[in-house]
Amino acid sequence: MDLVQLQRQLVDYRTSLYHEGFLDEQFTQLQSLQDENNPDFVVEVVSLFFEDSERLLNELSKALEQQVIDFKRMDAQVHQLKGSSSSIGAHRVQKLCIVFRNYCEAQNVEGCLKCLQQVKHEYGIIKTKLESMFQLEQQILNAGGSIPV
């Protein structure tokens, strides 16, 4: 596939992510922070996000398996997840975190479990999509082109 096509593909892919609500304006901001001084900024931040989120999701799963569920701790962790997803513009994940927090406040175990499943699901999706996007970008770079803004 030639460069222009790749670039167009990237643009379309990105636009679709916005349209479908996976990403929001914040991701754009993030991209604007990337420049010559900081060429891999977005990838770094997103990788950090993946690490952090996976850790948090594991801890949340464990917490919900306990006999006595520590809702407060869970709430704090979901808050973390919410914060980081909002920082990178992972819109859907952020929205789900808000709902998750409500369930934690209400100490609704059923709700929490269901929400956790949804969050994991969404997280999986956004991870895949972002990784695809990064792959595309890498392909463009390898082909000698520049990433369209």
Partner 1 sequence: MAKPPRLLIRTFARYTERTAFERPLTSGVAYAVRVLHSEREQFEKQQGWTIKRMDTLEQNPVHKDDYNPDLLEPSPIQEEYAPVVFAQDIVSHVVSIDMLSGQEDSKNVLCARKSGKGVLTAPFRLLKTNRLGVILTFAVYKRDLPLNATPTERIQATDGYLGGVFDIESLVEKLLQQLASKQTILVNVLDTTNQSYPISMYGLNASNDGLEHVSLLNFGDPFRKHEMRCRFKQKPPWPWLGITTSIGILVIALLVGHIFHATVNRIAKVEDDCHKMMELKKQAEAADVAKSQFLATVSHEIRTPMNGVLGMLHMLMDTDLDVTQLDYVRTAQASGKALVALINEVLDQAKIESGKLELEEVQFDLRAILDDVLSLFSGKSQDKGVELAVYISDQVPQMLIGDPGRFRQIIINLMGNSIKFTEKGHILVTVHLVEEVIDSIEVETESSSENTLSGFPVADRRQSWKGFRTFSQEGFIHPFSHSINLIVSVEDTGEGIPLEAQSRVFTPFMQVGPSISRTHGGTGIGLSISKCLVNLMKGEIGFASIPKIGSTFTFTAIFTSGSSSSKKYKSQQINKMSNSVSSEFYGMRALVMDPRPVRAKVSKYQIRRLGIHVEVVSQWKQGLSSICRGSNAINMVIVEQEVWDKYLNNSTLFFDTLEKIDYGTPPKVFLLSNSISSSGANISTGVCNMTVIPKPLRSSMLAAALQRTMGVGNKGNPCNGQLNSLSLRNLLLGRKILIVDDNNVNLKVAAGAMKKYGADVVSATRGIEAIELLTPPHQFDACFMDIQMPEMDGFEATRRIRDMEHNINNRIHHGELSVEAYNNVSNWHVSILAMTADVIQATREECLRCGMDGYVSKPFEAEQLYREVSRFFQ
Residues that bind partner 1 (CB under 8 A): 24-26, 28-30, 32-33, 35, 37-38, 41, 44-45, 48-49, 52, 76, 79-80, 82-84, 86-89, 149
CA distance 46 to 34: 13
Minimum CB–partner distance for residue 25 and partner 1 (Å) = 4
Q: Give 55 or 121: the residue with its C-beta nearer to partner 1.
A: 55
Residue 145, classified by CB atoms within 10 Å of its CB into exposed (0-12), middle (13-18) or buried (19+), is: middle
Cα 56 to its chain centre, rounded Å, is 13
Nearer to partner 1 by Cβ, of 25 and 70: the residue is 25
In eight-state DSSP terms, residue 104 is H
User: At closest approach, how far in Å is the CB of 53 from partner 1?
Assistant: 8
Q: What Cα–Cα distance (Å) separates residue 65 from each residue in 27, 30, 48, 120?
A: 34, 36, 26, 16
Exposed e or buried b per residue across 94-112, where buried means at least 16 C-beta atoms within 10 angstroms of its C-beta: bbbbeebbebbeeeeeeeb
Q: In the bound complex, what is the minimum distance in angstroms from residue 140's beta carbon to partner 1?
A: 19
CB nearer to partner 1: give 86 or 139: 86
Closer residue to partner 1 in complex, CB, 109/124: 124
CB of residue 26 to partner 1, shortest distance in Å: 5
Nearest CB to partner 1, comparing residues 33 and 141:
33
Instruction: Tell the smallest beta-carbon distance from residue 84 to partner 1 (Å).
Output: 3
Q: What is the DSSP letter of 125?
A: H
